[in-house]
Amino acid sequence: MKSLVNFRDLGGMAADSGRVLRKKRLLRSAEPCSLCGSDIVLLNKRYDVRTIIDFRTTAEAEGNPVDPIPGAVYHNIDLFPDFTVEDGPQLMLVSQDTIGGVRRFMEDMYLNLTQSEPSLHGYRLFIDLALAQREGAILFHCFAGKDRTGVAAAIILDLLGVSYEDILRDYMRSNRQRRDANRRMIEQCRQAGFTEHQLKILQNELSVRAQYLNKAVTAAEREYGSFRGMLQQRLCITGDEIQSLRENYLER
């Protein structure tokens, strides 16, 4: 992709059944906004994107609309409906005084994503859409494609039987795949007058760390015995639904 940041196809990842995820079915990325024409063609023709799931807040989605992909149906699933424009998840970039403060904030956000009713309701809608889609690809994203999207990927990959080691490896890829975009954003902020300390805070917010996802998974294991157990109880996912997902997204 020339203009779509942090894009990847989850196809090819191994499941515990010995099967692998089908390619061109589950795609993740940063926000697909202001895309070049060739990327839109690729999403339409090569990947057959039929569903776009936007995990950004309503304000984010309205402020920077997703580019339409021919034939794709768009869904905005706001995981933080109680956030206002003033305190939305991307506007806390330099609201913390220290790097440690940013990291604690991010850990708390991951706990919120995996424990709060609005977020869990949103991820349940995501699974419902995945269950309903029998052909073509789903493209799911948020702003940077790393946190809200990262948790969504962890959820569906776990249900499909992908090991946590591989889930974490995919999660950490965002640091590499966002490197150029993050540099551009930091330079824009430098030109806008951000201090060097603020830029360091921003660099940390724009990165993923294993401890963020580990925090959420460990909390789920402590309370429910496993991350899967949490998903089945809090998202009310049945064994039949897990089997249906696997038949739909794993190669036979």
CATH top-level class of 8-249:
alpha beta
The DSSP bridge partners found for residue 20 are: 14
Q: What is the rounded CA–CA span in Å between residue 174 and residue 237?
A: 28
| Beta-strand pair 49-54/137-141 | parallel
Secondary structure class of 52 (helix, strand, coil) = strand
Q: For residues 187 and 206, is the Cβ–Cβ distance under 8 A? A: no
Report pLDDT digits (tens) over 136-172.
999 999 999 999 999 999 999 999 999 999 999 999 9
pLDDT of residue 91: 47
pLDDT at 96: 66
Q: What pLDDT does residue 81 have?
A: 87
Amino acid, res. 54: D
Helices (H), 49-161: 58-63, 99-115, 117-132, 148-159
Can you tell me the distance from the alpha carbon of 103 to that of 144, in angstroms, rounded to the nearest whole number? 17
Question: Is there a contact between 44 and 70 (Cβ–Cβ < 8 Å)?
Answer: yes
Q: In sequence order, what E strands does 30-90 have?
A: 49-54, 73-76
Q: Rounded to whole angstroms, how far apart are CA atoms 156 and 130?
A: 9
User: Over the stretch 6-39, which tens digit does the pLDDT of each residue have?
Assistant: 999 999 999 998 999 999 999 999 999 999 999 9
Element (H, E) at 8: strand 8-9
Is 135 buried (19+), middle (13-18) or exposed (0-12) by CB count in 10 A? exposed
Domain definitions of the chain by residue range: 8-249
Instruction: Write down the pLDDT at residue 88.
Output: 44
Residue type, 162: V
What ranges make up the beta strands (E) of 80-236? 137-141
Which residue reads 């496993």 in tokens? 226
Q: Is residue 2 a contact partner of residue 39, using CB atoms and an 8 Å limit? A: yes
Burial class (CB in 10 A: 0-12, 13-18, 19+), 2: exposed
Predicted TM-score (pTM) above 0.75: yes
In the three-class reduction of DSSP (H, G, I as helix; E, B as strand; rest coil), residue 136 is classed as coil
Q: Beta-strand (E) ranges in 129-220?
A: 137-141
Tens-digit pLDDT profile for the chain (252 aa)? Answer: 999 999 999 999 999 989 999 999 999 999 999 999 999 999 999 999 999 999 999 999 999 999 999 999 999 999 998 865 444 444 455 566 788 888 898 999 999 999 999 999 999 999 999 999 999 999 999 999 999 999 999 999 999 999 999 999 999 999 999 999 999 999 998 998 988 988 888 888 899 999 999 999 999 999 999 999 999 999 999 999 999 999 999 997
